[in-house]
Chains A and B, each alone.
Chain A
C-alpha cells in the first residue's frame, strides 16, 4: 500500500511538472516500456516478472524523470526447501524505482530511490550521482553515493514481532572516455560497506561429526545427508559486516553494420569471495528495422572463507559462521543467448516503437555443495518500447 501511494504521488508530481514544462515550450522526450519476463530452472524455481517503466525528459533543458514498477511472482520447491521438509512456496515481490536528473551544462546531478517489498523482506534504497563533463565532453567523471536499509523477517510474522535489519552504504567513482568517433570506454569502481545481519531465517544447516564430515562428497543426495548428519541442525549465521570492492570496465564500438559491447568485472570482499566476470554481445543490423545480437557471459567465483561443504559440530561447539547460500560457494556460470529487436514505428520514425525479445540460458556448476552440483536455467523476456 505504501508503495502504491508513493507511485500515485510520484505520478501526480510528474504530471504537474509535465504541464509546466509544456507551457514553457520545451521539446519533451517521452518513452514508456513494458516487459514480461519468465524464468525457470532445474532446481524447481520459476519466476514471472511483468514490469513497466517510463521516462520523461527535455534534452535541451537538461532534465529527466524516470520511474519503474515490477512484480515478481516466485514459485519455488528447490532442493534446499525440500531438505528442510518444507512445501513449495509462492511469493510476490513488488519493487518500484524513481529517478530524477538535471544536467543543464557540463555539471549534472541525479537522485534516485527504490523500494522492494515482499512478505518477509522490505528494502529501501536511495542515492545520488554527480557527473562532470571535461575536455569538451570527451571525458565524463561520475561520483555516486547510495544508502540502503533492509528489514528481514519471516513470512506470516509481523516485522514488529521478528525482524533484523541490514544497512549498506555504496560509493562509486567512474569515468567515461570517447576513444574515437566509434568507440567509448567506461571504468567504474564500486565500494559497498554492509552492516547488520543478512542471514536468512529459513536456512537450516546440517551438521556432521568430525569423523564423517571429510567423507561427505559434493552433490551428496538428500537421503545420504539425512543418513550421515547429526540429529541437530542450526540456523544460518553470517558475519555482521562486509566490505565489497568491484571494478567494472565496459567498451562499446560501432562497426559498419553492428555494435560490439564487452564488459568485465573483477570483485573482492572482506568475506574472501573473489570473482571475475566477462560479458560480450554483438548487435547486428539486419535491414533498417531489425537487429539481432548474440550474448555470452561467463563468471567464476571462489567461496567465502567460512564456506564448508560439511560443517563439523561437536558436543562442545558449532561453527560460528555457517551458510547454505550456494551463491557464497565456489561456482561458475556460463550464459549464452541473444536479443532480437524489431522497430515497428511508422516510416517517418521507425524507432518510435520497438519490440525486443531476449533469451538467455545459464549453466551453473557448483563445485562444493550438498544436494546439487549443477543447475540449468532459462530466462526469456519480451519488451515493448514506445516514444513520443
Chain B
C-alpha cells in the first residue's frame, strides 16, 4: 500500500513535468556531457565496445517490444514505428 501511495504521488507530481521544456534541458545536458567529459577512444581500443550486447539499439526481441508498445501509452514513438496493435 505504501508503494501504491508513492506511485500515486509520483503520477500527481509527474503531471507537472513538461517534456518539451525539460527534454530540451536534458538534451543540452547530454550534448554537453558528450562533447566535454569524454576521452578519445582509438580504433584499437574498441574491443569491448564492439560486443553485440554493447549496441545502443534495443536488445529486446520483437515480441517484447510489441508488448511494451501495447502496455505503455507513450511507447509507440519512433522514426518508423510499426503500426497495428493487434487489440481492440
Binding site for B on A (CB under 8 A): 35, 37, 39, 45, 47, 49, 51, 53, 68, 70, 72, 74, 76, 78, 80-81, 89, 91, 93, 95, 97, 112-114, 116-118, 121-127, 129, 135-139, 144-146, 148, 150, 168, 170-172, 175-182, 184-187, 189-190, 192, 200, 202-203, 244-247, 249-250, 252, 254, 259, 261, 265-269, 273-277, 281, 283, 297, 299-302, 304, 325, 327-328, 330-333, 339, 356, 358, 360, 362, 364-365, 367, 377, 379, 381, 383
Chain A contacts for B51, CB-based, 8 A: 254, 259
Chain A contacts for B64, CB-based, 8 A: 37, 358, 360, 379, 381
Asked if B48 contacts A268 (CB within 8 A), the reply is: no
Could you list 9 further interchain pairs (A-B, Cβ under 8 angstroms) beyond the known A184-B56, A325-B73? A95-B84, A146-B81, A179-B37, A181-B49, A182-B49, A252-B53, A259-B51, A327-B71, A360-B67
Given A118-B86, A268-B23, A381-B63, A261:B53 Cβ within 8 A: yes
Asked if B38 contacts A178 (CB within 8 A), the reply is: yes
Given A202-B88, A274-B15, A266:B82 Cβ within 8 A: no
Q: List 21 A-B contacts (CB under 8 A).
A: A35-B61, A35-B62, A70-B63, A72-B66, A81-B88, A95-B84, A116-B84, A123-B83, A138-B41, A181-B46, A182-B49, A184-B56, A187-B30, A249-B26, A259-B51, A265-B74, A268-B20, A274-B17, A301-B72, A327-B70, A377-B67
> What 10 A-B pairs come out closest when comparing CB atoms?
A268-B19, A123-B83, A37-B63, A116-B84, A144-B79, A186-B56, A275-B74, A267-B74, A146-B80, A177-B34
Chain A contacts for B56, CB-based, 8 A: 176, 184-186, 250, 252
Chain B contacts for A277, CB-based, 8 A: 72, 74-75
Given A176-B56, A300-B10, A302-B14, A135:B46 Cβ within 8 A: no
Q: Which one of B11, B42, B60 contacts A300 once the chains associate, using CB atoms below 8 Å?
A: B11
Binding site for A on B (CB under 8 A): 4, 7-8, 10-11, 14-15, 17-20, 22-23, 26-27, 30-31, 33-34, 37-43, 45-46, 48-49, 51, 53-56, 59-64, 66-68, 70-75, 77-88
Asked if B49 contacts A254 (CB within 8 A), the reply is: yes
Chain A contacts for B63, CB-based, 8 A: 35, 37, 39, 49, 51, 70, 379, 381
Chain B contacts for A78, CB-based, 8 A: 88
Given A181-B49, A252-B53, A125:B80 Cβ within 8 A: yes
Asked if A170 contacts B54 (CB within 8 A), the reply is: no
Chain A contacts for B66, CB-based, 8 A: 49, 72
